[in-house]
Amino acid sequence: MSWRIFPLISQIGVNYRNGALSQHTDDEHDVKAGDRLPYFLVDGESIFDKLKEPKFHLLMFTHGNGDDFCEDFSKWYGHLADCHVIPLSEKVSELFETEDEFCVFLRPDNQIAFISSEMSPGVVGQYLQSRNIS
């Protein structure tokens, strides 16, 4: 019986998939907008160690270097969101069921706002505008 209660008490079983702040784009995976970001390690540390700032976070999962993208992104949205380049590791590919590059936009509470295979500042801008966030 406790195995059913733990996810609710620990809040890992809570999701906001039908919430107004969840935008469904790439929905063919188990992890969806409205879910809490799954736990995984980046360079031996919890991903949540990178997300302490109480802002939106754009996570770019890539095989290469996304520093230029993050620099451009910060010019437009740095006052609202941080940008993080995350290596597309085997564990991340397993969790998100893809080997292709993608991005995840997180709300300040680490719930996923959207997941997209289109990685551009414009995708974030559309999301923010559609929810009157500026």
Strands 102-106 and 56-62: antiparallel
pTM beyond cutoff 0.75: yes
User: In this structure, which topology does domain 16-130 adopt according to CATH?
Assistant: Glutaredoxin (3.40.30)
pLDDT digits (tens, 9 = 90+) for 99-117: 999 999 999 999 999 888 8
pLDDT at 21: 46
In 3D space, the residue among 58, 62, 16, 53 whose CA is nearest the CA of residue 36 turns out to be 16
- Would you say 42 and 52 are in contact if contact means Cβ atoms under 8 Å apart? no
